[in-house]
Amino acid sequence: MNDALLGHALVEEATKKSGLIWVRGTGSPARALWHVWHEGAAHVVGDGPGEQPLPGLTDGGSADVTVRSKDKGGRLVTWTATVHELAPRSEAWEAAVSELKGKRLNAPDGEGVPERWARECRVLRLEPVSSSTNHPEGSLSATPLPSPAITRRPIPAALPRLLMRRGRKRAD
């Protein structure tokens, strides 16, 4: 069997099964993006209020996509994609959005999400061009990108007193 066919089959199967893909657009760091595999390409939605950012992904540009293993989290395959922005309400956009809508968790507007995406977001098709299973040496770990979603903040000043009070038994 042809190596190109095997590479494409690996890209498709790995991307279908992975919940996140790591996408690096032109001049931007790699970001984890949720996606859906539909009609031979990964589709992502973002760049709108409450949606994932899509920096460096421009129509006609290229992107590097890394797919991780769902069970172990290790890198399986890296592929190069051509980025196509789908025109809102076009036939391709409607087909992609119907798949994406089912995967969007905790959408604030429920069934109205396609209308909001048409108004405020971009839907991108990441079409595979080439793939590689040759992985670079080392971990390629990087410092996390700045985000307001942090878990460590200073504890409130009154918290130790409240916790100490909870431990005392009431004298009746």
pLDDT, tens digit (0-9, with 9 covering 90-100), for 127-150: 999 877 666 677 767 777 777 777
Q: What is the mean pLDDT of the chain?
A: 87
Q: Which structural domain range is residue 37 located in?
A: 3-167
pLDDT band at 166 (very low <50, low <70, confident <90, very high): low
Nearest CA among 106, 144, 121 for reference residue 43: 121
Question: Could you tell me the CATH number of the domain that includes residue 156?
Answer: 2.30.110.10
- With respect to residue 68, please indicate whether it lies within any of the assigned structural domains: yes
Q: Give the residue-averaged pLDDT of 110-123.
A: 93
Task: Please check whether residue 56 lies inside any domain of the structure.
Answer: yes
DSSP string, 87-108: PTTSHHHHHHHHHHHHH--S-T
Amino acid symbol at 18 = S
Decide if 94 is inside a domain. yes
Where does the pLDDT of residue 113 fall: very low under 50, low under 70, confident under 90, or very high at 90 and above?
very high
Residue 134 lies in a domain: yes
Number of domains in the chain: 1
Spatial separation of the C-alpha atoms in residues 127 and 66, rounded to whole Å: 13
Model pTM? 0.78
Q: Would you tell me how many other CB atoms lie within 10 Å of the CB of residue 57?
A: 25
pLDDT for residue 50: 86
Biggest alpha carbon distance in the chain? 82
Listed residue (127, 104, 129, 95) closest to 46, CA to CA = 104
Q: What SS3 state is found at 111?
A: helix
In a domain, 135, yes or no: yes
Task: Provide mean pLDDT across the span 150-168.
Answer: 76
Residue 115 has pLDDT above 80, yes or no: yes
Share of the chain above pLDDT 90, in %: 51
pLDDT tens for each residue of 21-66: 999 999 999 999 999 999 999 999 999 888 999 999 999 999 999 9
Indicate whether 172 belongs to any domain: no
Inside any domain, residue 102: yes
